[in-house]
Amino acid sequence: MRIIDVREIAIKLNGRIANSLVNFTKHTVSLVALISDQVSEGKPIVGFGFNSIGRFAQSGILRERMLPRLAEAAPEELLSKNGAGFEAEIIANIAMKDEKPGGHGDRSGAVAALELATWDLNAKLLDEPAYKTIRNSFGVADLADSLPVYAAGGYYYPNDSAKRLSDELLDYQGKGYNSFKIKVGGEALREDMLRIEAAVAVAGKGSRVAIDANGCFDHQKALEMAVAIDPFELRWFEEPGDPLDFDLNRDLTENYNGSIATGENLFSLMEAINLMRFGGMRIDKDVFQMDPGLCYGITEYHRILKSLEEFGHRRKQCYPHGGHLINLHIALGLGLGGCEAYPEVFQPVGGYSDQCRLEDGKIAPSDAPGFGLEQKENLYPLLCDLVN
Amino acid sequence: MRIIDVREIAIKLNGRIANSLVNFTKHTVSLVALISDQVSEGKPIVGFGFNSIGRFAQSGILRERMLPRLAEAAPEELLSKNGAGFEAEIIANIAMKDEKPGGHGDRSGAVAALELATWDLNAKLLDEPAYKTIRNSFGVADLADSLPVYAAGGYYYPNDSAKRLSDELLDYQGKGYNSFKIKVGGEALREDMLRIEAAVAVAGKGSRVAIDANGCFDHQKALEMAVAIDPFELRWFEEPGDPLDFDLNRDLTENYNGSIATGENLFSLMEAINLMRFGGMRIDKDVFQMDPGLCYGITEYHRILKSLEEFGHRRKQCYPHGGHLINLHIALGLGLGGCEAYPEVFQPVGGYSDQCRLEDGKIAPSDAPGFGLEQKENLYPLLCDLVN
């Protein structure tokens, strides 16, 4: 058994949206295919992965550095010990050959796209949904077949209004979501408070609304926002300041009673450890959002989970950034707290397929083998193009 | 005045060398040219830059994300206020448009190549060496025309020996260098100690030999090495552990009397601040090695310097990683402690031109305008190719 080809395309995500810092109009992700020599119903079995959402495609790093390293490896090197599949950790290690430590930015997404495609391939070889493969692989004793999901949206739009935001959240409610996350920090505090009030009015209570500053606040502005939102008892206050400003995060955890959520812009075990050492994250209260698709894949993400637990945190505190099928399977497979969804944005990779069941704020993947990306109607043609 | 074209090529560096973690056989850098509409002696005035040494070319990130952003900017946006040149900070900011915070890895090198080329261009427009442009730009009151340099080498080679290492350092001595840096951590401690003894024997005293572990040691191994080298009173012990393991660094500064040097794998102001907050770096003793060519260029590097000084450190504690003409001009222009040289490796970008004066362990750049890259004989043909 071997991988006969590795392919990649950068795909453009749609949506004229912005958070407090970034406009996503030109946003891309790398879609990767690992084409095996195994055949099912006359077609090669192919593993697909992508480097999550929110940053950019990594075509350059993949083509210039990582794919040549994989091409040089002996095919049998990539096999798992029991021969039933491919070893994701080995594939990630080969992709990282001769890379220096530190600098966990873009390359962590490039590796992740490859590593995640390996899990999709392995699950398809076993003809089972990826969450089961992940569960068995890491010995996770969890029998759940669904998990909590919230709708992430509430971006800033051109000619935005509280009415538009309310309508957006009502639409999510109609689809079966009962909790939401909206952006803050893109307007003055006063305008953002009107957005928060509108969101809480739709949700029914503050504990169903999280806010996300995307790292835009300095120390003082973060504390001002914390004071302003305190009466709402919101679900969480996400990424108040620079994701690497662990002092700011610690200070906020000492001065705000609600939960703080952060981690989507930490891309390695070492950065996650620094957040735990220095960031003041409170056991059983604050929320970790590291995203496997941006931080070297499931192998490294699982190391992060083990480290979190050594620090006394629980994996139920983890809600990975990136609302899509891959993270749904990972969150379910590893027994995390839940996942997010972007019902309207970041298409064609954001959100879930119609075969996923969404009920009472919980989502269940379908029984499709792998991550089930083929069931996503707007993504399927791109998967076919990449393989044919 | 405007920039009429921005070009990039990935160039392969020669040398079958390795440190404790990384083999540099397939190593590359991005060489960037900013071609202006200004003419001197019938030729366009061109700014050249590259993203230092030690990691990889950034062709993908430049072509896919940054060059299109620059192409979209209005030409007059890029001009400096006094109209005498281009604004490096603005060019860096445009290159970073719609990039999220955190994840300072590869993209920090891509921005740096562009930002540094701007300084080369500005200095050429003023017909002066870049260190003078840098000095004037940041109001640095320093009249030195040379600064301390040490020869960095002592890599691991196939069929290596202490004799080969001694010969290498003797060769550097013959060229005018009187202090050296060698690699450790690639062999067992006992073998590395033989290498250190050989180096100290050539140098005459331990204070002329630094050792570099390239981040390969865990906590225990770093402490073992610190104990073993203590009697030699070496110049510094560089990057003992993971560059982001600030706890390990702090612990070592509390248990080792000699200097610790680190920072070459920190690529942003925020990471440098974390090193100062959490890494135990001792004022006037430990050494900072952040490299402008890997951390967004001179604009961000200068922010780092200002922050170091706010923490009570002195800029003379800074010896940037990356022994080449660009960092020589930066170190001299900003009044840093010194710079490194790779006399034999990382060609054609490593080391200095024949016009640079090396005397008694100090190096002086020539009077060539800009960084004087055109005077580097093995680099010059590549610069011509890029422009023609």
Handedness of CA B190, B195, B199, B202 (dihedral sign): positive
Q: Do A244 and B56 touch (CB under 8 A)?
A: no
Q: Is-contact A298 A344, C-beta < 8 A?
A: no
Q: What are phi and psi of B152, to 5 degrees?
A: -95, 125
For CA atoms A99, A103, A105, A106, the dihedral sign is negative
Q: What is the mean pLDDT of chain A?
A: 96
Q: Which of B29, B72, B244, B278 should be substituted to probe chain A, the one whose Cβ sees the most A Cβ atoms within 10 Å? A: B244
Domains of chain B: 3-127+382-387 (3.30.390.10), 138-376 (3.20.20.120)
Q: Which of B21, B23, B101 sits opposite A265 (nearest CB)?
A: B101
Q: Given an 8 Å threshold on Cβ–Cβ distance, is A102 in contact with B267?
A: yes
Nearest residue of B to residue A267, measured between CA atoms: B103
Among all chains, which residue has been given the structure tokens 């017909």?
B127
Where b means 16+ CB within 10 Å and e means fewer, B188-227 reads eeeebbebbebbbebbeebbbbbbbbbbbbeeeebbebbe
pLDDT (average), residues A269-275: 98
The pLDDT value recorded for residue A64 is 96
How much is the average pLDDT of B121-137?
A: 98
User: Chain B residue with minimal CA distance to A96?
Assistant: B22
How many angstroms separate the CA of residue B274 from the nearest CA in chain A? Answer: 8
Please state, in angstroms and rounded to a whole number, the distance separating the CA atoms of residues A284 and A263: 16
Cβ–Cβ gap B243/A102 under 8 Å: yes
Per-residue pLDDT tens digits for A139-179: 999 899 999 999 999 999 888 889 999 999 999 999 999 99
Taking contacts as CB-CB distances below 8 angstroms, the residues of chain A near B59 are 60, 64
Q: Which of B27, B102, B294 sits opposite A244 (nearest CB)?
A: B102
Indicate yes or no: CB of B107 within 8 angstroms of CB of A104. no
Q: How confident is the model at residue B26 (pLDDT cuts 50, 70, 90)?
A: confident
> What pTM was estimated for this model as a whole?
0.97
Q: Report the residue of A13, A21, A52, A98 to disrupt the B interface, i.e. the one with the largest count of B CBs within 10 Å.
A: A98
Over chain B, what is the mean pLDDT? Answer: 96
Which chain A residues touch B249 with a CB distance below 8 Å?
A: none
Per-residue pLDDT averaged across A343-371, rounded?
93
CB contacts, 8 Å: B247 with chain A: 277
The distance of A357 to chain B (nearest Cα, Å) reads 32
pLDDT value of position A20: 78
pLDDT single digits (tens) A367-376: 999 999 999 9
Beta bridge partners of B79: B86
One-letter amino acid at A153 equals G
Size of interface A-B (CB pairs under 8 A): 148
Q: Which residues of B are catalytic?
A: 183, 321
Q: Do A108 and B103 touch (CB under 8 A)?
A: yes
Q: How far is A367 from chain B (nearest CA, A)?
A: 35
Question: Which residues of chain B are within 8 Å of residue A72 when distances are taken between CB atoms?
Answer: none
The residue that leads in pLDDT, B374 or B142, is B374
pLDDT greater than 80 at residue B344: no
Tally Cβ neighbours within 10 Å of residue A269: 22
Q: Are B333 and B130 in contact (CB under 8 A)?
A: yes
Asked if B103 and A55 come within 8 Å (Cβ–Cβ), the reply is yes
Q: Do A22 and B63 touch (CB under 8 A)?
A: no
Instruction: Give the HSE-up count for residue A310: Cα atoms under 13 Å, Cβ half-sphere.
Output: 11
Of B102, B108, B267, the CB nearest to A266: B102
pLDDT tens sequence across A208-246: 999 999 999 999 999 999 999 999 999 999 999 999 999
Asked if A214 and B23 come within 8 Å (Cβ–Cβ), the reply is no
> Beta A3-12 vs A28-40: how paired, if at all?
antiparallel
What is the mean predicted confidence (pLDDT) over A346-357?
Answer: 93
Task: Please tell me the predicted confidence (pLDDT) of residue A147.
Answer: 96
Closest CA to B2 of B116, B65, B79, B82: B79
Q: What distance in Å separates residue A109's CA from the closest CA in chain B?
A: 10
Which DSSP category does B14 fall into?
P
pLDDT at B75: 94
Chain B residues with CB under 8 Å of A57 CB are 64
Q: How far is CA B164 from the centre of its chain?
A: 26
If you average pLDDT over residues A59-66, what whole number do you get? Answer: 97
Residue B266: which of A25, A59, A102 has the nearest Cβ?
A102
Q: State yes or no: cis peptide before A75, omega within 30 of 0.
A: no
B180, B171 Cβ separation under 8 angstroms: no
| Residues A105, B108: C-beta atoms closer than 8 Å | yes
- pLDDT tens by residue, B173-187: 999 999 999 999 999
User: What is the spatial distance between Cα A293 and Cα A274, in angstroms, rounded to a whole number?
Assistant: 20
What is the pLDDT averaged over residues B315-333? 97
A99 contacts on B by Cβ (under 8 Å): 22, 55
Q: Which has the minimum average pLDDT: A257-271, A308-322, B253-267, B342-356?
A: B342-356
**Res B159: pLDDT:** 84
Within 8 A of A247 by CB-CB distance, chain B residues are 277
- The Cα B58–Cα B35 span in angstroms is 19
**B59/A56 CB distance under 8 A:** no
Question: Can you spell out the DSSP letters for B127-168?
Answer: TSBHHHHHHHHHT-----S-EEEEEE---B-TT--HHHHHHH
CA R_g for chain B? 20
Number of Cβ within 10 Å of residue B145's Cβ equals 14
Dist CA A33 CA B123 (whole Å) = 47
User: Of A181, A321, A329, A376, which residue is the catalytic one?
Assistant: A321
Q: How far apart (Å, rounded) are the C-alpha atoms in residues B285 and B276?
A: 13
Identify all chain B residues contacting A107, using CB atoms and an 8 Å cutoff.
105-106
% chain B with pLDDT above 90: 90
Closest by Cβ to B106, choosing from A68, A103, A247: A103
Q: How confident is the model at residue B160 (pLDDT cuts 50, 70, 90)?
A: confident
Arithmetic mean of pLDDT, B46-68: 96
pLDDT value at position B84?
A: 87
Segment B223-233, tens digit of pLDDT? 999 999 999 99
CB A22 to CB B99 under 8 A?
Answer: yes
Q: What is residue A32's three-state secondary structure?
A: strand
Phi, psi of A6 (to 5 degrees): -125, 125
Rounded to whole angstroms, the Cα distance separating A298 from A317 reads: 17
The residue in chain A having the minimum alpha-carbon distance to the alpha carbon of residue B53 is A100
Band (A23; pLDDT cuts 50, 70, 90):
confident
Query: Mean pLDDT over residues B183-206, rounded?
Result: 96
A chain contacts of residue B106, beta-carbon cutoff 8 Å:
61, 103, 105-107
Using CB atoms, which residue from B54, B107, B214 is nearest to A106? Answer: B107
Rg (CA), chain A: 20
Residue A322 amino acid letter: G
More confident residue, B161 or B133: B133
Task: Measure the CA–CA gap between A313 and A281, rounded to whole angstroms.
Answer: 9
How confident is the model over B74-128, as pLDDT tens digits?
999 999 998 889 999 999 999 999 999 999 999 999 999 999 999 999 999 999 9
Please determine, for residue A24, whether its predicted confidence score (pLDDT) is greater than 90: no
